Amino acid sequence: MKLSSFSKHCLLGLVLLILLLASGCASEGRDRGFYFTAQPRSDGVLIQFFNIPASTIHLSISLGDITDEQLLLHQILLWDNQVYDFVSPQNDLSVLGPQRTLLFPFAQAGNEYEVFAIIYTSLDLEEFTYHSEMVVARGGIHLANRPVLEFSSDNRTLLLSEVPRFTEELEYSSEGRYSYGVMVITNDGYAYGGGGNWDGLSFPAHEIYTSSQARYGFRGRLPVVGSLQANVMHRNLSWLVGIARTEEVHMWF
């Protein structure tokens, strides 16, 4: 899998979606030293980490809802802000504190989740180590409606049917309300795509897959998937909350 094919800030969710869909990936890249526990609570899932390498500069934590047929993915991305030269400081690794814990608030009671944590020790995102656990949620913040994400009839645009509503009032990020993603899966199993933050309920998907095709040169009739996460603030942290994913559409390239 070519992680470098994706935008670092908005499409790690698509990479994790591939891991959820590909059963053979579960043992690759796993470091037996690094692990975590996931404890369901009424207000989310409490995650405690062990043996995080001192050289870690980025940590991606995700809950993949395997109960939902869309495999919705919720994420938080933590960074070493002394290493990454962001214009504005992002979620810092220090939020884990001395106990190395994080309360993940986005979960729905009764749903089963695969919890992923991926650690990076260099700026090259092609090298990663991860651990995963299964958990059945007892509660948390979740969608109160079911927006539908579809491609337009000409497959050029992603369309969201309605504004997402949550069981708790949330503030949207100033960087854009939604994070759209577009992924093309080639016959050899590679995934190419991109995406970006956007405020509206429609997104120009064709700009993503045409630029990817021009860069990587894939050809043929290939499946394309669109996804959408909401960029929300909760307890002074920025979160990506899974809203919807399209059915596969096949396009000629």
> For all residues of the chain together, what is the average pLDDT?
87
- Contact yes or no for 79/96 (Cβ under 8 A): no
Q: Of the candidates 245, 200, 199, which has an alpha carbon nearest to the alpha carbon of residue 223? A: 245
Task: Round to whole Å and give the CA distance between 130 and 28.
Answer: 9
Report the alpha-carbon distance of residue 65 to residue 73 in Å, rounded.
6
- Model pTM? 0.86
DSSP state of 125: T
pLDDT of residue 32: 60
Q: Is the pLDDT of residue 24 over 80?
A: no
pLDDT at 10: 36
CB 110 within 8 A of CB 66: no
Strand partners, 101: 48
Structure token pair of residue 223: 């499946």
